[in-house]
Each structure stands twice: as structure tokens, then as C-alpha cells.
Amino acid sequence: MRNQILKGRLRPGVRLPATRDLASQYDFSRGTIVRAFEELKSEGYIEGSTGSGTYVRRVLPDELLQAKQEAGTWAAPVPKNGRRLSDYGRRATLFSNSDNRPSRTFRANLPAHDLFPMGLWAQIASRRLRRISTSHLLVCDAMGYAPLRGAVADYLTASRGVKCVPEQVAIVAGMQEALDLATRLFVNPGERVCMENPGYPGAANVFNAVGAKVVRISLDEEGMRFDERRLEGARLVYVTPGHQFPLGITMSLPRRLQLLEWARRAGAILFEDDYDSEYRYFGRPVPALQGLDPYGVVLFAGSFSKVLFPSLRLGYIVVPPDLVERFTAIISITRRHAPLLDQTVLCDFLTEGHFGRHLRRMRDVYAERLSILSEEANLRLTGLLEVSDVQAGLQTTGWLCGIDAESAAAAAAKRGVEVTPVDRYSQGRVVPQRLQLGFAAFDEREIRRGVRELAIALEGAR
């Protein structure tokens, strides 16, 4: 009957058969029919009362009742006057994900997923799930699972020179969420945000969507230039001091100190993206900018996507003590907290030493792969691509010798090799042009083949 009314077959004002007649017609008890009528009445489909007669409600707008929309189709039209989005809604653009495409040699930002000890992870997860207490089904603190926050604080203090207590650590869904939360808390639409040029596109995406005026600052061999004119008025400055994205430069101590001092004076926030800093193949890791900060101006963020696996969606942000309350509030409003079971498994993985062991193993593997790449490049790419001697991260870059980067990338793609023109991360064009090459996800054979193919492609593109 509900369907008949919605489809317009039973028109508004039509008198319905008596419950007694319906009961005998459909062979139901009269009580059943009366209950169904009560329900339809409570939902506003029909009116009247048993005895005086029941009618299809008169106030139902005709037009709607006859609108036909089939289930299982993409039928709903765009509203005639168009879609009215917010300013944010109009600015947000897709931050696309190359990881879904089949993997090709030298794709950047790709760790060696095939070497992740998934069996071990599965074992820890099973143990956690078997022993789970009801309290772990309930929500946790917005900042995350307390033992995990402690384990992350310990790790960052020991390995990254970060100065923090567990209360300052928020567990988030990776770098994008860390960027989004920080930008929302500190930047109004129209305000200035600075970042490196070239720099991480995921950050630019967040800043542009929020409506920030994104100012790019160029680099030299000490990292981002200290350009006070361009920094002026910036509410937030995004930097990758440990290992610049995409060039791999380590920001020098004087630059770090100048930035900290400037941020204090300007009342600005420095967002330190510590991506991939676990992977340094020569010398000791460079301590974090955050560890030098006596003013509480640095937000330090990292992700477990590259050391563990990206689909886990877990990372962290370390915030100055007086901002803990603000971060708790924004996370509680926007997503309550990160999933708790995943957090408990990660916590065990860290505290039982698996994380450290996996990291050391991968460091050896990646160092070996990088040295194969350097060796092959010396042998076959001289005069075509000068590969830099950066000794960190999952990718390196090379200067093209008079070849256009986009043509080079296109020629390489035709030979099954994926190299990224660094200018894709830049505002404006930088000469000489560079290519980014990921080496971490590819074994010796693939790297040697990749370099051979790249050499042929670059010869052709010259």
C-alpha cells in the first residue's frame, strides 16, 4: 500500500477499503491489517480512523509522488540550478594516487611492499583480537591509544631527536590528515602559507583547498632559502628539513635556527614533515627541527605508510603542549579517533622490537638498491642524466643533460620505465631540469633493466 501511494496509484483523498474486507480478501487476521493501518498513519501516508473511514492523506504533493526513480541506476539528476558548493568544496581537487596503477620501474614514493613481514603482522593482530577486552571495542581518547602514543614518543625521542612526552603525540590517519588538521587550526582562507619549491604536492593540495595563499620558496644547497620577504605574514610554513621532497637536501643548522627564530617573532607555525627520515644510508640520522625548538612553534609529523604499509593509514603528529587541547577538540569533532584495534597491533609491533628489526633490514636492502642504481647510472647514463649522490629516502633525482624532462618521461614510459619530472612539483620551471627516480621497490634485475631502458629512451629524446 505504501508503494501504491508513493507511485501515485492510490491518489490523495482516495478512501481505502475497510480493514474487515482487506482481511478477508488477503486472508490476514483483522488485527494485522489494523496494525498495518496504524503504522501507515504514524508515517503520515493515510488519515482518518477505523469506523469513520480511512483515506490516503490529502496533503501529499502530487508531483513528488509521481516522480519515478528506479533503484540501482545513476538516475538522480543534478539540480536544475546547479550544485552550490562551499568555497572549500569548489577548491578541493583530487590528490590522485599512482599506487593503484601497475607498478613500473623507478616509480617514486614506493617502498618494497613484498618484503613487509605480513605473516608477523597477522600473528600479532590475531593475538590481539583473541585477547581483546570489551573496553577496546569502545572509543578511545581522540589523540589515540595511550600505550601507542608512549611507544611513538619513545621512538621519536631516541631515533629522531624529537623532544616530547606521550601526551603531545596524536595518532592520525597519515600525513594528509596531519596536514589537514594543522591547516584548519592555523590558517584562515586568504592567509599566507609557505612551502618549498619544488615541494610535496599533497601539502599544496591541502593548502589550496583551504583557500590559503600558497607562496613557494626556492632552495639552495642548505635547504629552503631564508627569504624574509616571502615569509612575511605566513601563518604556517611547511618544510621537509630532514630530507627535502623531492631533492633530498638536508636543511642546514643555520637555516633551521633562522626559521625557528623567525617563527617565534612572527607567531607562525612550522610544519615539519619528517617523511622517510628512517631511511638514511650514510652517517647518523639528522635530528629533527622539532628537537631544536625552544619556542613551541614546530608541529612534527610522520607516517607509518612507508616503513609499514600505506593502506594501514596511521601516522602521528607531535604538537606543543599548549596545543594538545586544540588537537584533541578538532579530532573529536572530525573523526573521534583513529581505529583502536589497528593502533593496538601497531603498538605491539613497535614495543616488541619488530619495527626496529624490519627498519634495519629494509635500510640494508634499500642501500644496496641505491648503490646498484648509482653504479648502473655511472655506467650507462653519463652525458644523459647525472644522478645525485643523495644517500637517503626511497628515491633520488638526476639532472638531465640538455633534455626536456617531460619528453624524457614520455620516452621512458614507452619503454616501461616511470620517471617523474621534478618540475611537476614546482611552481614555474627550473633549469637544468631534473627527473625523480624511485629505487626502493625494485630488485637488482629490475634496476639494471630500468637503467638500460632509460638510457635508450633518453638517447632517443635528446
Sites for its own copies among residues 180-199 (CB under 8 A)? 180, 184-188, 191
| 113 CA to centre of own chain | 18
The yes or no reply on residue 14 touching its own copies (CB under 8 A) is no
Q: What is the DSSP letter of 432?
A: S
Is 60 in contact with 12 (CB distance < 8 Å)?
Answer: yes
Nearer to its own copies, 137 or 431 (CB): 137
The CA angle 350-351-352, to the nearest 5 degrees, is 95
The yes or no reply on residue 29 touching its own copies (CB under 8 A) is no
Question: 331 to 360, contacts with its own copies by CB under 8 A?
Answer: 332-342
Q: Are strands 385-387 and 395-400 parallel, antiparallel or unpaired?
A: antiparallel
Nearer to its own copies, 18 or 330 (CB): 330
Q: Minimum CB separation from its own copies for residue 339, in Å?
A: 5
Which of 375, 359, 363 lies closest to 447 in space, CA to CA? 375
The yes or no reply on residue 429 touching its own copies (CB under 8 A) is no
Nearer to its own copies, 150 or 356 (CB): 150
Question: 204 to 243, contacts with its own copies by CB under 8 A?
Answer: 205-206, 209, 222, 235
Other CB atoms within a 10 A radius of the CB of residue 74 amount to 5
Is 299 in contact with 317 (CB distance < 8 Å)?
Answer: yes
Q: What is the DSSP letter of 112?
A: -
Which of 82, 121, 111, 94 lies closest to 307 in space, CA to CA? 111
Question: 113 to 132, contacts with its own copies by CB under 8 A?
Answer: 113-114, 116, 118-119, 121-122, 125-126, 129-130, 132
Say how far apart CA 104 and CA 409 lie, in whole Å. Answer: 13
Q: Minimum CB separation from its own copies for residue 94, in Å?
A: 5
Question: 65 to 104, contacts with its own copies by CB under 8 A?
Answer: 65, 67-79, 81-89, 92-97, 99-100
Q: Minimum CB separation from its own copies for residue 111, in Å?
A: 9
Question: 260 to 319, contacts with its own copies by CB under 8 A?
Answer: 260-261, 264, 267, 283-284, 286-287, 292-297, 309-314
Is 251 in contact with 258 (CB distance < 8 Å)?
Answer: no
Question: 131 to 170, contacts with its own copies by CB under 8 A?
Answer: 132, 134, 136-142, 157, 163-165, 167-168
Q: On the CB side of 44, how many CA atoms lie within 13 Å of its CA? A: 3
In which residue are the cell numbers 631544536 written? 292
Is 47 in contact with 55 (CB distance < 8 Å)?
Answer: yes
Q: Minimum CB separation from its own copies for residue 169, in Å?
A: 13
Q: Minimum CB separation from its own copies for residue 230, in Å?
A: 19
Say how far apart CA 396 and CA 420 lie, in whole Å. Answer: 11
Interface with its own copies (CB under 8 A), residue from 307, 330, 365, 367: 330
- x/- map, 388-427, its own copies, by CB under 8 A: ----------------------------------------
